[in-house]
Amino acid sequence: MANLKTIKRRIHSVQSTMQITKAMELVASSKLRRAKERAEAAQPFFEATYKLMAEIAAEDPYFNSQFVRKRTETGACLLIVIAGDRGLAGGFNSNVLKIAQNRIQEIQKQGGNPIVLPIGQKAVDYFQNKNIKILQSYDHIAEHMHIYLAMDIAELILTTYQRHESLQSVELVFTNYVSPILQVAQKMNVIPLDDFPGTSPRHCAVEYEPSAEEVFDKLVPRYVASLIYGAVVESFAAEQASRRSAMENATDNATEMLDQLSLLYNRARQGAITQELTEIVSGANAQQ
Amino acid sequence: MNTYRLVILTPDKILFDEQVVQLIARTTEGDVGILAGHIRYAAILQTGVLQLKLPDGTTKTAAESGGILKVSDDKTTVMVTAAEWAEEIDPDWAERSRQDAIAKIEAAQNEPHRLDRANLKLQRALNRLQVSGHGTGRVSPPLKKKK
């Protein structure tokens, strides 16, 4: 009898867990839809900005912006790490933090000084406990990400880069939303801007006002801002997708467990009835 | 009239992607008008107004918050931080952000960096108010009452 009770209790507990995971799955999939739209809408601006920068760089043979020049290898590196604000999203947070951690160790091995700019509660918590220098941290911004905030962050990054000659590069670790079932955490370089590939120098002259350099320097903060904006909304979409599939799995597992448990429960119940019957019958037999 | 393709991009959306006859925009060097067949050109835009002349003869006005204007052979692209059509600007919101900006300017008197930013914010709010209020006569009734 005691066995029956414990099984029943377990069934209840699995059921209530399943309710939660199912609700989380639904919430994540509705958030995912919106986040995906935002991530897609951010694409054209980023591409147009990048293309124009690449054109300017390709056209002007004397082009030499401070953001393109490679600096001497000091090993110092600013790492922008974008993770989620909440857990329970499968491997989402740990994947992105693992890449960041690997990069930090690499920098430290070369004798460099890593600085981090964490975005998202999970990233902030992680680096606070790690005793790594934090430039500035941002949490709970992803869901309502705004371009002006991205501009502020971009400005902070660029002024930091300009002020510290020893800072070798600025890198970004975020999660790329590939498909609802595939999200890839990855690292990319922000500054110095990579050599722009794929632009032919065949361009005829473009008239720049006031000048090509000034247009370029105006573009850089916008480029960085739209990069950060894009990475944040993309990571947010990836987080939701990751959470959705994690919760889907959890719900499936719970269903499976419930099946097994109810089988076990029925068996135990039947066993109890059989036993009771045997007891009655044998009791009756003894009376005769 | 010859037309050309104009694309207005902001980081969070494509505001406009259609044929137009003319675009008037405010660059750091002064106002420019772009017609079809313009040479390749790129300029920095100030916070200001975009005026579009459409093929059907109507005009459309938008407030923009600074960015880049680029004319290439196949299309003209406007990349700005933010842009709204005149009729879509909420004047109450613009007014609130104006007051907010003024408060920020007062609070940031000793910090040039924050002051700059607050000034830009004020500029944007004023621009929005102007575009929505005295734009080009395309003012919707509730906006007029406000003035």
A-B C-beta contacts closer than 8 Å? 80
Judge whether A31 is closer than 8 Å to chain B, CB to CB. no
At residue B141, the pLDDT reads 37
Judge whether A243 is closer than 8 Å to chain B, CB to CB. no
B9 → closest Cβ in A44, A56, A150: A44
Smallest CA–CA distance from B72 into chain A, residue: A206
**pLDDT tens digits, A38-92:** 988 888 888 888 888 888 777 766 667 778 878 877 778 899 999 999 988 888 9
At residue A220, does pLDDT exceed 50? Answer: yes
The C-alpha atoms of residue A2 and residue B18 are separated, in whole angstroms, by: 74
Please judge whether B11 and A226 are an interchain contact, meaning their C-beta atoms are less than 8 angstroms apart: yes
For A55, residues 6+ apart whose C-beta sits below 8 A from its C-beta are A199, A203, A206
The C-alpha atoms of residue A219 and residue B81 are separated, in whole angstroms, by: 11
Please judge whether B68 and A215 are an interchain contact, meaning their C-beta atoms are less than 8 angstroms apart: yes
> Tokens representing A34?
């919106």
At residue A61, the pLDDT reads 62
At residue A69, the pLDDT reads 79
ipTM: 0.76
At residue B87, the pLDDT reads 87
Please judge whether A207 and B82 are an interchain contact, meaning their C-beta atoms are less than 8 angstroms apart: no
Q: Which CATH class is domain A45-246?
A: alpha beta
DSSP result, chain A: -HHHHHHHHHHHHHHHHHHHHHHHHHHHHHHHHHHHHHHHHTHHHHHHHHHHHHHHHHH-TT---TTTSPPP----EEEEEE--SSS-BTBHHHHHHHHHHHHHHHHHHTT--EEEEEESHHHHHHHHHHT-EES--B-S-STT--HHHHHHHHHHHHHHHHH-TT--EEEEEEEEEEETTEEEEEEEEEESPPP-TT--TTPPP-EEES-HHHHHHHHHHHHHHHHHHHHHHHHHHHHHHHHHHHHHHHHHHHHHHHHHHHHHHHHHHHHHHHHHHHHHHHHHHHH-
Min Cα–Cα distance to chain B from A205, Å: 8
Q: Kindly list the distances between the CA atom of residue A15 and the CA atoms of A22, A218, A286, in Å, as whole numbers in the listed order.
A: 10, 57, 45
**pLDDT tens digits, A132-148:** 888 988 999 888 888 88
Q: Which CATH class is domain B4-85?
A: mainly beta
**pLDDT tens digits, B40-87:** 898 999 888 999 999 999 999 999 988 999 998 889 999 998 898 988
Please state at what angle helix A92-109 crosses helix A121-130, rounded to 10 degrees: 40
Min Cα–Cα distance to chain A from B48, Å: 16
The pair phi, psi for residue A86, each rounded to 5°, is -130, 160
Please judge whether A222 and B68 are an interchain contact, meaning their C-beta atoms are less than 8 angstroms apart: yes
Residues of chain A with Cβ-Cβ distance to B13 below 8 Å are 41
The full set of domain ranges for chain A reads: 45-246
At residue B147, the pLDDT reads 37
For B66, residues 6+ apart whose C-beta sits below 8 A from its C-beta are B44, B45, B46, B47, B80, B81
Please judge whether B40 and A151 are an interchain contact, meaning their C-beta atoms are less than 8 angstroms apart: no
At residue A204, does pLDDT exceed 80? Answer: no
Among A53, A46, A60, A47, smallest CA distance to A193 is for A53
Min Cα–Cα distance to chain B from A210, Å: 7
Please judge whether B81 and A222 are an interchain contact, meaning their C-beta atoms are less than 8 angstroms apart: yes
Residues of chain B with Cβ-Cβ distance to A208 below 8 Å are 41-43
Please judge whether B13 and A41 are an interchain contact, meaning their C-beta atoms are less than 8 angstroms apart: yes
The full set of domain ranges for chain B reads: 4-85, 89-146
Among A123, A118, A120, A154, smallest CA distance to A136 is for A118
At residue A37, does pLDDT exceed 80? Answer: yes
Judge whether A222 is closer than 8 Å to chain B, CB to CB. yes
Judge whether B59 is closer than 8 Å to chain A, CB to CB. no
**pLDDT tens digits, B2-52:** 899 999 999 888 999 999 999 999 998 899 999 999 998 989 998 889 999
Q: A186 forms bridges with which residues in the sheet? A: A174
At residue A251, the pLDDT reads 95
Residues of chain A with Cβ-Cβ distance to B117 below 8 Å are 152
What pTM did the predictor assign?
0.82
Chosen for mutation from B10, B79, B97, B124 (greatest number of chain A CBs closer than 10 Å) is: B79
